[in-house]
Amino acid sequence: MNKVHFQDLGLIDYKEAWDFQEKLFKFNVDAKISNRKEEKELIPTKSHLLFCEHPHVYTLGKSGDESHLLLSEGLLKQKGATYYKINRGGDITYHGPGQIVGYPILDLEFFFTDIHKYLRFLEEMVILTLAEYGIKGERSDGFTGVWIDTDNPLKARKICALGVRCSRWVTMHGFAFNINTDLDYFNNIVPCGISDKQVTSLEKELNKKIDVNEVKQKLKKHFVRLFEAELV
């Protein structure tokens, strides 16, 4: 069973968390490059799972369209939000308090070398967690992430966004699961570049505040089972 080092970083500035991810990611990528070149003792890679929340921030993936941010720099400041162009896949999304952000930094060569399977496992972790709250989470054809009511185009709404980076089978970035999130902040973007679908949260679906730590425990439980991992 693969060991995955778990840390809950709490509420942390986006750039600070991104720099920390990059440090862990770089260690693994550099170790793998070195292990292929050198005829000496191998440097073991380390897999990590980070949970956190961010202050209000918009992030644009490398394939994203800047016009999907609907705020000027001045209005961003008024909203108390920051904006970063980053190196994950996908378009624009929002992170903020009341949202669980998960960053798995995994060496997939110890799990499976299939990025599509990896994305489906992250979705499944959220789908299984939603099921524990009596909500049917689903995948939507052509889109990553977890959705509700996908069979009704007028009601389909996204509850969890995904965007990852992978190099030499090492992953970074991850998922953003709306729990008690202020959904008004999504009105300032075209979320994930999708203009005709809504965004929702667990709080909105259940019409009550949710214990975020309880959700984290459920996510960890399903992560361990899906990835056949041990959190340390």
pLDDT higher than threshold 70 for residue 217:
yes
Confidence class for position 160, pLDDT limits 50, 70, 90? very high
Considering the domain delimited by 2-31+46-231, tell me its CATH architecture.
2-Layer Sandwich (3.30)
49/33 Cα distance (integer angstroms): 22
- Residue matched to tokens 């890679």: 45
Average pLDDT, the chain: 94
**How many Cα neighbours within 13 Å face the side chain of 227?**
32
**What residue segments make up the domains of the chain, in order of their start?**
2-31+46-231
- Token pair listed for 58: 């918009």
| For residue 229, pLDDT beyond 70 | yes
What average pLDDT does range 73-82 have in this prediction? 92
pLDDT band at 143 (very low <50, low <70, confident <90, very high): confident
Q: 32-68: per-residue pLDDT in tens?
A: 999 988 677 889 999 999 999 999 999 999 888 999 9
Instruction: Yes or no: say if 31 and 110 are a contact pair by the CB < 8 Å rule.
Output: no
Positions annotated as catalytic residues are: 192
Q: How confident is the model at residue 153 (pLDDT cuts 50, 70, 90)?
A: confident
Q: What pLDDT is attached to residue 63?
A: 83
Percent of the chain with pLDDT over 70: 97
